[in-house]
Amino acid sequence: MRIKNLPQVPLGGKQAFESLMDATMTNPLQSILSERDWLLTDGATGTNLFNMGLSSGEAPEFWNTDRPAEIRRLHAAAVEAGSDLFLTNSFGANASRLKLHGAAHRAHELSKAAAELGRDVADAAGRDVIVAGSMGPTGEIMAPVGSLTHEAAVEMFHEQAAGLKDGGADVIWVETISSPEEFLAAAEACALAGIAWCGTMSFDTAGRTMMGVTSNSLAALVEKISPGPTAFGANCGVGASDLVRTVLGFSGAGLPIIAKGNAGIPKYSNGCIHYDGTPDLMADYAALVRDAGATIIGGCCGTTPAHIGKMREALETRPRGPRPSPEEIEARLGRFSSASDGTRPGAAPKRERRGRRRAAVQPPRAPGPLPERSRAPERETGAELEPHCS
């Protein structure tokens, strides 16, 4: 695992470090967090864009220039439902992913446009609303296992972060990451761009990310990054219950915790994948994950404004409770997808004990370009899935 003192990078040096320090000192998200016990984020991007007419195989980031009114409407719906923070429509706006659509050269342009649209909505909200510039994974495996070098990853993320900053994003939101190497590359890119950042990973394999990271190992990682994130946590994954259990593993990290869980479990019906989590279930999730230690709470795949409204109501009206036990989480939100959360000694997925390669050492797939939840399943199958986590 490569742990770097991020400001001491050759591409930015002291100037980038001082710029980031200035951004951190005036970071609007940090200011709001100092005044609030919790913040509510938005929900899904892809689910709601599909409901607006996004087609299978279409890059949602193109809508930032082709259908800007729809993107404003997407963000406005989240704000009207009660979101204090929403993510820009830029999850896949890096050169690697846009290359699939012949648009690698548009990474800065589409990222900037995404932030500008978000800025329009936030500035018209009549209250403080944070515009978080979404940056998802590149979709490639990093060296030495794969072909993507650290330097190339930093360059791609830097281009995107600079575009989001130029468009008016308050903070960069690195999300759905699986490997520590890619997490660190994105963090370094934010330092070069001189903008504060938050970071989440997706824990979807028996309490671990696809690349073997556990919740407590991510908590240890963020403490070693300097400049570190404003907040960190988990998004997407399996279901709401699994994500709350993951949050329990972040305790003691000393930073605000992010929880952005899916609206239940995806189920195939009538040619599409729909999430079975009701607004009432997501309201229970919001209150439970707050009690588990999360400060920034929202939804991911399948989460609509109707879910967000119920979550807001729960956070505003339900008193804080004790830290939930795993048994209570399952009773309220449904069974976990696995017996293990990945954090206990010897709690690695059973398939590793059958002699297969450890996920922390090598990925379960061959080196080379990898979906890493960024080659959008909905673009391959026409299913209703979330591009932020696809």
pTM of the model: 0.85
Contact 131, 90 (CB under 8 A): no
Contact 259, 233 (CB under 8 A): yes
pLDDT at 269: 80
CATH of the domain at 378: 3.20.20.330
CA atoms of 158 and 332, how far apart (whole Å)? 41
Helix, strand, coil distribution of the chain in percent, nearest 5: 45, 15, 45
**Nearest alpha-carbon partner for 275 in 266, 285, 284:** 266
pLDDT at 272: 75
Per-residue pLDDT of the chain in tens (390 residues, 90 and over written 9): 333 333 333 334 555 555 555 555 469 999 999 999 999 999 999 989 988 999 988 999 999 999 999 999 999 999 999 999 999 999 999 999 999 999 999 999 999 999 999 999 999 999 999 999 999 999 999 998 899 999 999 999 999 999 999 999 999 999 999 999 999 999 999 999 999 999 999 999 899 999 999 999 999 999 999 999 999 999 999 999 999 999 999 988 899 999 999 999 888 888 777 899 999 999 999 999 999 999 999 999 999 999 999 999 999 999 999 999 999 999 999 999 999 898 876 544 443 333 333 333 233 333 333 333 333 333 222 223 343 343
Report which secondary-structure segment, H or E, holds 299: strand 296-299
pLDDT at 19: 54
CA atoms of 59 and 37, how far apart (whole Å)? 36
- Residue 7 within any structural domain of the chain: no
**Nearest alpha-carbon partner for 121 in 108, 130, 112:** 130
- Residue 362 within any structural domain of the chain: yes
Largest CA distance in the chain: 58
pLDDT at 13: 52
CA atoms of 334 and 245, how far apart (whole Å)? 12
| CA 147 to each of CA 112, 141, 367, 369: distance values in angstroms, whole numbers, following the listed order | 28, 6, 7, 8
| CA 266 to each of CA 197, 274, 278, 381: distance values in angstroms, whole numbers, following the listed order | 30, 5, 12, 14
- Residue 6 within any structural domain of the chain: no
Domain total of the chain:
1
pLDDT at 114: 98
Eight-class DSSP state of 384 = -
**Nearest alpha-carbon partner for 258 in 226, 213, 222, 224:** 222
Amino acid at 75: H
pLDDT at 15: 53
- Residue 379 within any structural domain of the chain: yes
- Residue 4 within any structural domain of the chain: no
- Residue 196 within any structural domain of the chain: yes
- Residue 1 within any structural domain of the chain: no
Task: Provide the residue range defining the domain that includes 152.
Answer: 13-389
Contact 159, 203 (CB under 8 A): no
- Residue 169 within any structural domain of the chain: yes
